[in-house]
Amino acid sequence: MKSPLSFIKGRDTDGVMGTFRPQLTSLIDVMTILLVFLIKSFSVEGNLITPSPDLELPISTSEKPPKPMCSLIITKSSVLSEEDKIAEIDQFKDNDSLLIPLLYDWMTIQKAKCVDKERAKEVLIQSDRDVEFNVIKRVMFTCSKAGFSDFSVLVLEEE
Amino acid sequence: MNLAFSKRNSAPSEVASDTIDIDVTPVMNMFIILIPFLVSVAVFTHLTIIEFSLPPNVGMGLDTSEGKPKLKMTVVVTSDYLAITHGDAMLDSIPIVNGEYDYTLLFKKLSIHRKESDIKNEVIVAVRDAIRFKHVVKVMDRCRGAGFEKVGLSSAPEETESL
């Protein structure tokens, strides 16, 4: 069998320059496997929501795709909107009241901005998997006080 | 048209490998264009959502639509065990094994108790404050897997521990 590196032998016995002929079979094999994998991962829709890099989302068997709606991010240290920090968890997690005033103000503004009345009740919570339920509970309570009643949580689909 | 590889019939494999010369350049060109495109649009993590409601909408514990109250099944998540309750009655208790919740057993128990329940599509997940969110999501998954379409999320008071 011809060696894959045969082209570097240079001149053959007749003194004629050898042909540059690299063996591409294995490269094509790799490319084909890669192509099949990438076609399998291909998504026409893409991700409508990009989770924050600070988050480790919980894993779930749910298959329902996300849809655009008012979104809240709960990291291990704070509650954020898509752009700004709203409240630090340490500031409210031990309070007697479940209401988070800063979050309530922000959610009220968001609800007023929403034109679609059905969508105005929906809120998507993007929470880190290691956040305690105490924090989630307070965020949900505040959202419900601001008029949001339909909750969704963002999760990673289990493979 | 004579095909180049037709020579192969009479030649040994070593000789044939020298004579067969397939031009793979177009295939390689296609790969080089296609693979960067697919890499750019590939989605490696699939995001999904779980929908739930607060107890006023789902799982208040009472359903007065037919004039008389109906209790709904509740899964209580504590740091020591999972409990399936129906009103004041505890139907099952699943202790933590080796620091892990037994979700498989929870699924089996929920499936069994769902058949006996009056309200077969709603369940409440009542969670203690210290429970991490990933466990809540797992329990909600098992509830949906057992056939409960609507899941209500609620807080479990500390005194529930006496159950």
Number of domains comprising chain B: 2
Number of inter-chain CB pairs under 8 A, A vs B: 149
Give pLDDT, residue B59: 42
Taking each helix axis as running N to C, give the angle between helix B133-145 and helix A133-145, from 0 to 180 degrees, rounded to the nearest 10. Answer: 70
Give the pLDDT band (50/70/90) at residue B53.
confident
Q: In the predicted model, what is the mean pLDDT of residues A63-79?
A: 88
User: Is residue B34 located within the same domain as residue B81?
Assistant: no
Strands B73-77 and B122-127, sheet pairing: parallel
Q: What is the pLDDT of residues B57-98, one digit of tens each?
A: 444 444 445 555 667 889 999 999 999 998 888 888 999 988
pLDDT above 50: residue B7: no
What is the rounded CA–CA span in Å between residue B126 and residue A70? 25
Same-domain pairing of B26 and B101:
no
Residue labelled with tokens 């329990």: B139
Q: Are residues B156 and B96 in the same domain?
A: yes
B89 and B28 within one domain? no
- Nearest chain B residue to A94 by CA: give it: B129
In a domain, B127, yes or no: yes
Question: Closest approach of chain B CAs to the CA of A15, in angstroms?
Answer: 19
> Percent of chain B scored above 90 by pLDDT?
27
Residue of B nearest to A147 (CA): B54
Kindly identify which residue of chain A lies nearest to residue B14, measuring between CA atoms.
A1
Q: State how far the Cα of B54 lies from the Cα of B76, in Å rounded to an integer.
A: 15
Provide the b/e sequence for A63-94 (b: ≥16 CB within 10 Å): eeebeebbbbbbbeebbbeeeeebbebeebee
Query: Are B30 and B82 part of one and the same domain?
Result: no
Strand partners, A73: A80, A126
Q: Find the domain containing B27 and state its range.
A: 4-41
Q: What's the residue count for chain B?
A: 163
Output the six-digit token pair for B118.
Answer: 């009056």
Q: Are residues B100 and B142 in the same domain?
A: yes
Q: Is the pLDDT of residue A46 over 90?
A: no
Instruction: Mention every residue, 6+ apart, whose C-beta is less than 8 A from residue A13.
Output: none
- Find, among A63, A19, A90, A83, the residue nearest to A159 by Cα: A63
Residue B53: list chain A partners with CB under 8 A: 149-151
User: Are B89 and B157 found together in one domain?
Assistant: yes
Distance CA(A144)–CA(B8), nearest Å, equals 77
| Statement: residue A156 has pLDDT above 80 | yes
Residue corresponding to tokens 């099949």 = A36
CA distance B7 to A154: 61
B154 DSSP β-pair partners: B126
Domain locations in chain A as residue ranges: 6-41, 59-157
pLDDT tens for residues A75-114? 999 998 877 889 899 988 888 888 999 999 988 888 888 7
Per cent of chain A over pLDDT 70 is: 85
**In this structure, what token pair is assigned to residue B61?**
């514990």
Q: Summarize the confidence of residues B50-59 as an average pLDDT.
A: 68
Q: Do A132 and B43 touch (CB under 8 A)?
A: no
In a domain, B61, yes or no: no
